[in-house]
């Protein structure tokens, strides 16, 4: 159902705040916390004493303490101590590779021997003072692949987001889709149009006249297992579109880390990285608030879509040219799953 041998965003760094965090990733119940060295750690959310969730406990001096009977766990998954009793025969619990990158905690739910931190992608906006980033998290009651479909076909903006980023020209302008290895790219370039409300606001904030005609672009890039980065923006018409000089364009990247929880639920880490006025914290907050409202509209549609698909599982869905990005992304996922099956599924996370 989901590729296990891959890096997924499990949490924002701010969520690991001194208390344990319980979260299910790709069907695996995990608990996240910082160990004695301040490193992000991921263990099974299971106390080997009586099976209580370790996420209901606390972190004391970098060690995880069960909230049921005080069992102390080491970051290697081994029980360390319990008041007035021996833990000598306690079995180890599982642990997963876990690292901190780009302001997020990443976890590898598959075979630990295959985990390579170099496989975590690099992003131009991460740690770059010329960019500002703001985002959030939605828990969505839908298959993660529906969210990928949604983000790789932006024609829905005309209807779902009519009051912010949608406009008829999206429907009227064909998109082109191609593959570069396992990366799927769908792009649309609209020429000589009026900017929609969100981009008029962004132009105004960037010192541009929002009444000017613009060239608008949407370049969606899917990469496995489930990340979608979307280059978006507007430039003064006739100045080169997305390749225009910075002085006559307003550009950003929509960041989408899509992490499966179960077959029908997903952790959606969304955000926007922008190249204009990066030091304006108030603008970052306003864009985050507006973007959050936009994605809330997607959430309602996708959750109801999931409900319909569950109610009519026998119904065949139709594909159109606008669906090419999502179709190719699903093919990549299927290849990854087939390769995973050929190697053999992992039986359990690492334990000592």
Q: What is the CA radius of gyration of the chain?
A: 22
The strand pairing partners of 181, in sequence order, are none
What are 25's two structure tokens?
Answer: 């990733």
pLDDT digits (tens, 9 = 90+) for 170-212: 999 999 999 999 999 999 999 999 999 999 999 999 999 999 9
Q: Boundaries of CATH 2.102.10.10 in the chain?
A: 8-118
**Residue 160 reports pLDDT greater than 50:** yes
Topology of domain 124-340 in CATH is Naphthalene 1,2-dioxygenase Alpha Subunit; Chain A, domain 1 (3.90.380)
- 3-state per-residue secondary structure call for 129-167: CCCEEEEEEEEECCCHHHHHHHHHCHHHHHHHCCCCCCC
* Residue 97 and residue 112 in contact, taking contact as beta carbons nearer than 8 Å: yes
Q: In what order do the strands lie in the sheet with 58-60?
A: 58-60, 63-65, 72-73, 79-81
End-to-end distance of the chain based on CA atoms, in angstroms?
28
Give the global pTM: 0.93
DSSP summary character for residue 82? B
pLDDT digits (tens, 9 = 90+) for 69-115: 999 999 999 999 989 899 888 999 999 999 999 999 999 999 999 99
Q: Does domain 8-118 have CATH number 3.40.190.90?
A: no
């Amino acid at each position: 159902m989901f590729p296990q041998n891959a890096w997924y965003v499990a949490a924002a760094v701010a969520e690991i705040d001194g208390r344990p965090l319980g979260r299910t990733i790709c069907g695996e119940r995990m608990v996240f916390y910082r160990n004695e060295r301040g490193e992000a750690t991921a263990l099974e959310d299971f106390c080997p004493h009586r099976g209580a969730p370790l996420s209901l406990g606390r972190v004391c001096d970098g060690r995880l303490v069960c909230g049921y009977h005080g069992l102390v766990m080491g970051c290697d998954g081994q029980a360390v101590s319990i008041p007035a009793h021996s833990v000598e025969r306690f079995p180890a619990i599982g642990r997963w590779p876990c690292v901190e990158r780009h302001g997020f905690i990443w976890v590898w739910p598959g075979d630990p021997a295959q985990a390579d931190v170099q496989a975590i992608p690099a992003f131009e906006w991460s740690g770059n003072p010329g960019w500002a980033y703001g985002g959030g998290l939605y828990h969505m009651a839908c298959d993660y692949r529906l969210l990928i479909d949604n983000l790789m076909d932006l024609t829905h903006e005309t209807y779902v987001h009519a009051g912010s980023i949608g406009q008829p020209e999206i429907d009227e302008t064909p998109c082109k889709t191609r593959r570069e290895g396992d990366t799927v790219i769908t792009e649309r370039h609209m020429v000589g149009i009026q900017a929609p409300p969100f981009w008029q606001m962004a132009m105004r904030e960037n010192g541009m006249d929002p009444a000017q005609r613009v060239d608008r672009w949407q370049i969606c890039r899917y990469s496995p297992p489930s990340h979608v980065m979307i280059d978006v923006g507007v430039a003064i018409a006739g100045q080169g579109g997305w390749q225009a000089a910075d002085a006559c364009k307003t550009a950003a990247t929509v960041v989408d880390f899509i992490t499966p929880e179960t077959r029908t639920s997903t952790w959606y880490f969304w955000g926007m990285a922008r190249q204009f006025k990066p030091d304006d914290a108030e603008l970052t907050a306003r864009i985050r608030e507006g973007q959050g409202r936009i994605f809330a509209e997607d959430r309602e549609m996708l959750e109801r879509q999931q409900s319909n698909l569950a109610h009519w599982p026998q119904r065949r869905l139709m594909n159109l040219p606008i669906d090419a990005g999502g179709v190719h992304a699903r093919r990549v996922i299927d290849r990854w799953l087939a390769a995973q099956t050929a190697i053999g599924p992992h039986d359990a996370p690492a334990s000592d």
